[in-house]
Amino acid sequence: MRLGHSSVVALLFLARAVLAQDPRLAARLDNPTLVAVNAIIDSARVSKLPTAPLVDKALEGAARGRDGATIISAVHQLSVRMGSAKRALATNATPDEIKAAASALDVGVSVRDLARLRAASGKQPVTVPLAVLTDLVGQKVPILTATNVVLQLARSGVKDPEFAAFQRNVRADIDQGADPTVAATTRARGALARNATPTKPSE
């Protein structure tokens, strides 16, 4: 059956309407970028990945004035990382855990270490430990050290508020001139000691 010209145009408009699931994307992206981004989002949805982070990534790119190709690549890379994150964290990972894990992967944390963190954390969500890990690496703590420190804390049952306090203390020490590795390992010793028994931590 051949479609008349007007039918094709109508179908295209219909397609755009259907595909523009988030109206903000249509308002901020040009057509080719919109189509490509929505395709990535649809594919992510089929894979049962959270789609909101992909929309957010595209909106961020638009807000930062990035060109279409950069936005498409960023959204695609994020969806790949989220896929890896979800596999590493196992099927019951929450959207927040997947988001945080994708950020950790972006700074160089390995998929294997995501899985180790999940195993080390038991029933505790890993969102906050992952955000702390991402921050440590951003503060120039070597990835291996940062990962080992966070794993140790998770294994010993350190909870989110203590993780956050640990991150804050390491940041303050680095601002005061401390070497990032020394700051992270020293503060981790303190956090572990406080978490274990109420004895005075030794240097």
Partner 1 sequence: MEGSSDGVIVARVLRGDAEVFRVLVERYRDRYARYAFHMLGNREDAEEALQDAFTRAYRSLSRCEEPERFGAWLFRILVNRCRTLGSRRGRRSRTFVVDEVAILEAAEDHPADRNAWREEIDRALQQLRADQREAFLLKYVEDMGYEEMSQLTGVGVSALKMRVMRACDRLRELLSEVHSA
Partner 2 sequence: MMKDIARELRAPLSPPLSASFNGRVMAAVRRMPRHSRFRLWSRLTTPRTVTVIPLSWGLLAASLALFAIIGATRAFDDVRTATKPIVTALFPSSRVPEAPQRVQFVLVAPDAKKVAVVGDFNGWDAGHASYQAQHRGGGVWSVTAPVPVGHHRYSFVVDDSVWVADPTAPRVVDNDFGVANSAIVVQEQK
Rounded CA separation 70/174 (Å): 34
Q: Which of these ranges, 18-26, 46-54, 159-167, 179-187, lies near partner 1 under the rule CB under 8 A?
A: 179-187
> By C-beta, is 6 or 92 nearer to partner 2?
92
Q: Which of these ranges, 84-92, 123-131, 142-150, 168-176, lies near partner 1 under the rule CB under 8 A?
A: 168-176
Pair 56, 98: CB distance under 8 Å: no
DSSP state of 140: T
Q: Which of these ranges, 4-12, 13-21, 70-78, 192-200, lies near partner 2 under the rule CB under 8 A?
A: 70-78
Task: Give me the helix-helix angle, 160-175 and 143-155, nearest 10°.
Answer: 150
- Identity of residue 99: K
67 binds partner 1, rule: CB under 8 A: no
Tell me the C-alpha to C-alpha distance, in Å, between residue 108 and each of 2, 37, 71, 137, 177.
Answer: 52, 25, 21, 8, 25
176 binds partner 1, rule: CB under 8 A: yes
From the list partner 1, partner 2, none, pick the one residue 176 interacts with, judged by a Cβ distance below 5 to 8 Å according to partner type.
partner 1
Annotate each residue in 130-149 with x if it binds partner 2 (CB under 8 A) or - if it does not, as one string. Answer: -xx-xx-xxx----------
Tokens 């981790």, residue?
A: 188
Tell me the C-alpha to C-alpha distance, in Å, between residue 199 and each of 131, 152, 164, 184, 191.
Answer: 29, 18, 22, 20, 12
Binding site for partner 2 (CB under 8 A): 24, 52-53, 56-57, 59-64, 66, 70, 73-74, 77-78, 92, 94-97, 99-100, 103, 106-107, 125, 127-128, 131-132, 134-135, 137-139, 160-161, 163-165, 167-168, 171-172
Binding site for partner 1 (CB under 8 A): 172, 175-179, 182, 186, 202-203
